[in-house]
Amino acid sequence: MRSALRCLVIVAALVGTVAIAPPAAAKGKHARLGPFPQRVRHPLYLLHLQPTPTRAAVLRPGAVQVEVNADWSNVFEKWSRRRPMGRQISDLDMEILRLGTSVRVGLPHGFEVGLEVPFLTMTGGVTDKTIQRYHAALNAENGGRNFVDDFRFAWRVAVPSLAFDHRIEDPVIMGLGDITVDLQAQLVKPSRRLPGVAGRFLVKLPTGSFARGTGSGVPDVGLVAVAEHGWGFVNLYGQFGLLALGRAGELANILRPAAVTFSLTLELNIVAGWSILGQLQGHSTFLKGFVHPFMQKSPMGVMFGTRGRIGPVELSLAMEQDILSGDPTADISVIGTIGFTAGRRQEPDH
């Protein structure tokens, strides 16, 4: 019931946007503002490399882009299953705020280099009552929230058959996550006739703490193909890639060695400095050994929101829901970004 209502709200919003956008966008010039940063917010997925969607057009040589991304989510997952070797347990109850600061620099010959430094806060939060009232207004299920204390912090996952039992007792007020560096190469420059295509190579460094839940403790690497194309006020962005997940210590027992990542974004550029977007992103599942059906599914989040540009400043605001019953992603997520670009991208001629 709850997932069906979410899907209906998202579909209604997208249909309404498509209906009103063409008349508003019929006149004037149009721009490509690009996709939202998006990731799976489940605490076990946040430990690993997740390439966020990006544009295929790289920055011109010497151009610099600085962006701060505030990514908030409310997570509740509480279940257990009796198995021959012991009881599988997942007890995750928290609010997560991920603050990521990224810097990107355009290099000669169609290259771009980027660095992202994230900080994570994981606490009991302040919105549990608000979310339960929201569920009650929709006559939707609470998923068990009403059987635990509000504003509780819990972080425990146990898979006895794979000798995994990890618990974090104390909230994390502010902890350094795993830093990511990447190199993007322009393979096909975007034009009015041809889509832009780029390749990205990413490395996640083990700067976070597995004991605190802010990092996996080992590197990950990824290779991603990115594409974009536009027709007037309609722009499409997509990415598809392979991830090699570092496996060491306790996580090696429940972690798959590799995964596939993908995303697709529809942007309706109402006017040159303002767009409305719908975005789909997901991965093949990172985890193994779980018997709960939600944890066996590949996460697939749908995001809806807006992006704007005022001179060199770009802003975005969006909300996300998982269309596969809410797990293993967050119950609800909100992202906001603010960025500044000194210079230009390799834009197509309009």
Instruction: Tell me what pLDDT residue 48 has.
Output: 96
pLDDT at 72 exceeding the cut of 60: yes
* Neighbour-count burial for 54-83, b at 16+ CB within 10 Å, e otherwise: bbbbbbbeebebebebebbbbbbbbbeeee
> Residue 15: is its pLDDT beyond 90?
no
User: Looking at the predicted structure, is the pLDDT value of residue 22 above 80?
Assistant: no
DSSP letter (8 states) at residue 160: G
Mean pLDDT over the full length of the chain = 87
CB 223 within 8 A of CB 239: no
Q: Which pair of structure tokens corresponds to residue 235?
A: 């722009």
Find the mean pLDDT for residues 174-199: 95
Lowest mean pLDDT among 100-104, 143-147, 191-195, 283-287: 143-147
State the pLDDT at residue 136. 64
Asked if pLDDT for residue 32 goes beyond 50, the answer is yes
CATH of domain 2-342: 2.40.160.40
Q: Name the residue ranges covered by the structural domains of the chain.
A: 2-342
pLDDT at 1 (0 to 100): 42
Q: Alpha-carbon dihedral of residues 85, 87, 88, 94, nearest 10 degrees?
A: -150
Compute CA distances 27 → 30, 74, 272, 310, 326, whole Å: 9, 40, 10, 19, 39
Express each pLDDT in 102-148 by its tens digit. Answer: 999 999 999 999 999 999 999 997 776 677 676 666 666 666 666 67
Q: Residue type for 345, please?
A: R
pLDDT on residue 8 = 47
Q: pLDDT tens digit string along 223-272? A: 999 999 999 999 999 999 999 999 887 899 999 999 999 999 999 999 98
Asked whether residue 328 carries a pLDDT value surpassing 70, the answer given is: no
21: three-class secondary structure by DSSP: helix
Pairing of strands 64-83, 300-310: unpaired
pLDDT tens sequence across 299-309 = 888 999 999 99
pLDDT at 185 over 70: yes
Instruction: Kindly state the tokens that stand for 37.
Output: 């940063």
Instruction: Show Cβ contacts of residue 337 under 8 Å, excluding neighbours closer than 6 positions.
Output: 36, 37, 67, 68, 69, 70, 314, 315, 316
Q: Of all residues in the chain, what percent carry a pLDDT higher than 70?
A: 84
